[in-house]
Amino acid sequence: MQSFLEFCGEGFSDGSENLKPRRSLFPQNAMLSHLLRPEIWLDKILEDQSLTIGCDASIEEAIAAMNQARSSYILIIEGRKLEGIFTERDVVKFAGSPLSRLDVPISQAMTRNPLCIERDRLDNIFKAIDLMRVHCIHYLPIVDSAENLLGTITPERIRAILQPTDLLEMRRVVDVVSDSAGIRDAARVLSVPATASALETVQLMLDTGKSSIVIVAPTADNTFLPIGILTERDIVRFKANKLDLASLSCGEVMSSPVFSVSLETTLWKAHEIMRDRGIRRLAIVADSGALTGIVTQSNILQALDPAQLRLTVQQMQLIVSQTIQELQETNERLKSELQQRQQIEEQLRQLNQRLEEQSQRQLLKLIHSEKMAALGQLMAGIAHDLSGPISAMKVSASNLSEGFGIAKFEKLLAFLQSLPPEVQKDFWLMIGSAKQTLVRRSRRHIVQLQDDICQQLEEESIDGADEIAEILVEIGIEDSLEQFKALLRHPNCEQTLDWVVQLVGLQKSLQVANTATEQTVSAITALKNYVRQDFTEEKIPARITEGIDTVLTLYQNAFKHGIELHKNCDESLPEILCYPSDLKQVWMNLIQNSLYAMAGQGTLTIEVQRQDDFVRVHIQDSGTGIPKEIQETIFQPFFTTKPLGEGGGLGLNIVKQIIEKHEGIICLNSVPGKTIFTILLPFKIPT
């Protein structure tokens, strides 16, 4: 019973999932204890602050106390011992008799020796429900062994604690009304016009034993629309306020509006309306709005079949035992994963430490503080970039270690040996084919592929076409089914495909690990290439695009979060004679400045082309631009527009010196929203 279990255990199902938890593993035990252990659920369901009054109090005082507390009952006690109970029904009796005196002691009007039960005798919640159903009572006082009052169990508290959603959702208002009194009796709900005397209406409630009367207005088609209601609680309020009911009409004292439901409304919906509105009854109306009956809290309580609730608890016991086992297994798995994570984190820490040491050694050789600042920023980015691939490798390693052990491989080999040679051939061919087609597809594409493959299988009269088509699409087999005909027609086809799926899963894990490894190696290689110095006084052959790619790799995190990169580089350009390490510092400073100017949002465009006897490098950003009045001074040393501490003003001066060292030219063109640096380097190829 899904909703009841959701309340008790934060999300269980009793369907095809074999009673496995869908969400939290922990709350189920606590709620099951509430149901099975009296010392816990009684604390939840017991109204230990029950409204009480002494035996020497008057009826008037009792009614006033009930009205103030909005309570439907009051317990009469002597010391701590229960002597009687006085309910809204008793108030109706007094209201219906003008000669009744309210100044007499409550002990003369109360119901003496009401049904109660010792707390120690309540071994589960269902006994309380049974007692209230069998004896048709709404209040069950709980006493201790010395008959001292401990509290009261009421239908409201039972429903508030249990809330068995499915038991109420599966039944409609018409079901419980018909079961309890017959549908024709329900249709004869008591109703009076708004002009009826309030006192006579109270007497009618008393004569008929009804707890409420609906106030109606006639319509042109001889039906009646509910416009108000008089309940026992209203009578308590009238008596507490000393209203003269004989001089008032129902329309003057009725409660309105009347909340209503249809006969097809579920009991759960009716319960929710009562709970949200703080009421205990709802009018039943037809589609036209005409009054047809009434449903009360008692009807809903009667729908809580103890036998069904017991079955639910038994199911929960099974769930809890399974959950405990799963929790233990999960804890062990988490411990293992935690150890693996700690090992990887230690490796990452050591790697970062080595990278930092290596970087520091290189930083000592840089001739300007701007290089040190740039490299320091790179180190943080590299550490961040490495965390994703390493996490992917960890997950893939876990999948590989858990997916196949020696025993499972032996089982696979035994299974394959039981297959005919042609099926074995198809098995390995299918795995090879799947490996070639492990790509992402849209949901619409997947459904279309499944339909096409299913149609092909059905044309070949292959059983289980739907399931087989789904598996084939999952592993990437889209066409050429003819080559797998022996496997698909084999009686053990589905079991064979299951092994294929598992092996393809291993392939996917290997692909993820390989991709993550390549990303990690790329980041580390880029950093190594950047910090490496070429201690030579002579130019050496190098590709301009390789140095730019190294810098872009180091800043790849920026291109994942708001910066769009447009790159147009002539990869056919040969190596030229240059100082590669110095040029990397040029690309670093220019790209870093562009990213800073765009503040996390914009487009970076990089072009590398041959232009006559030069290699032209074009770096453009969509940042704020450089004001015209300072464009002539930005290449001067110690000039900067950045806040204090974010730059020393040497970056562009270093760039200019390096370009001049190469006998090249650097030009600036900037307007608001666009800045372009153009570098021309002599096209000198090695001989």
The CATH number given to 536-682 is 3.30.565.10
- Measured in whole angstroms, the distance separating CA 178 from the mean position of its chain's CA atoms is 40
Confidence check: pLDDT of 26 > 60: no
* Most confident of the ranges 4-18, 46-60, 119-133, 312-326: 46-60
Give the tokens for residue 114. Answer: 């009401």
Q: Mean per-residue pLDDT for 565-580? A: 91
Distances (CA, A) of 29 to 8, 34, 161, 316: 9, 9, 15, 9
Distances (CA, A) of 613 to 252, 580, 657, 684: 102, 19, 21, 8
Interacting residues of 56 by C-beta distance below 8 A, sequence separation 6+: 105, 107
Q: Mean per-residue pLDDT for 270-279? A: 84
* Most confident of the ranges 311-325, 455-469, 558-572: 558-572
pLDDT at 400: 56
Q: Mean per-residue pLDDT for 440-448? A: 73
Task: Pick one of 1.10.510.10, 1.25.40.10, 3.10.580.10, 3.40.50.140 as the CATH number of 37-162.
Answer: 3.10.580.10
User: 5 and 23 in contact (C-beta within 8 Å)?
Assistant: no
Confidence check: pLDDT of 247 > 80: yes
Measured distance CA(573)–CA(552) in Å, rounded: 19
When pLDDT is cut at 50, 70 and 90, the band that residue 123 belongs to is confident
Name the residue among 517, 528, 559, 562 with its Cα closest to residue 375: 528
pLDDT at 131: 84
Q: Which CATH architecture has domain 166-303?
A: Roll (3.10)
Give the tokens for residue 665. Answer: 């030219």
Measured on CA atoms in the order 412, 417, 419, 420, is the torsion positive or negative? positive
pLDDT at 320: 72
Helix (H, G, I), strand (E, B) or coil at 425: helix
- Ordered by start, the domain boundaries in the chain are 37-162, 166-303, 365-532, 536-682
User: 231 and 189 in contact (C-beta within 8 Å)?
Assistant: no
Measured on CA atoms in the order 651, 652, 657, 662, is the torsion positive or negative? positive
When pLDDT is cut at 50, 70 and 90, the band that residue 76 belongs to is very high
When pLDDT is cut at 50, 70 and 90, the band that residue 409 belongs to is confident
When pLDDT is cut at 50, 70 and 90, the band that residue 13 belongs to is very low
Confidence check: pLDDT of 219 > 60: yes
Give the tokens for residue 344. Answer: 């990887």
pLDDT at 582: 83
Q: Mean per-residue pLDDT for 280-306? A: 79
When pLDDT is cut at 50, 70 and 90, the band that residue 19 belongs to is very low
Burial of 12 (0-12, 13-18, 19+ CB in 10 A): buried
Confidence check: pLDDT of 59 > 60: yes
Confidence check: pLDDT of 346 > 60: yes
User: 375 and 359 in contact (C-beta within 8 Å)?
Assistant: yes
Tens of pLDDT, residues 636-645: 765 566 654 4
Confidence check: pLDDT of 8 > 50: no
Please identify which residue in the block is written with the tokens 């080595």. Answer: 354
Find the distance separating the first CA and the last CA of the chain, reported in whole Å. 83
Q: Is the model's pTM score more than 0.75? A: no
pLDDT at 357: 74
* Most confident of the ranges 183-192, 468-477, 514-523, 624-633: 624-633
Ramachandran class of 10: left when φ > 0, alpha when ψ lies in -120 to 50, beta otherwise: left
Query: What does the mean pLDDT of the chain come to?
Result: 76
When pLDDT is cut at 50, 70 and 90, the band that residue 3 belongs to is very low
Alpha-helical segments (H) within 404-534: 406-417, 421-435, 443-459, 465-474, 485-489, 493-531
**210 secondary structure, DSSP code:** -
Distances (CA, A) of 405 to 408, 435, 441, 503: 5, 21, 31, 12
Same fold, 37-162 and 536-682: no
Confidence check: pLDDT of 367 > 80: no
pLDDT at 437: 46
* Most confident of the ranges 313-322, 372-381, 516-525, 610-619: 610-619
Q: Mean per-residue pLDDT for 442-456? A: 78
pLDDT at 310: 66
Q: Mean per-residue pLDDT for 557-573? A: 86
Measured distance CA(582)–CA(378) in Å, rounded: 17
User: 396 and 510 in contact (C-beta within 8 Å)?
Assistant: yes
Tens of pLDDT, residues 493-527: 888 788 878 777 777 766 666 655 655 665 565 55
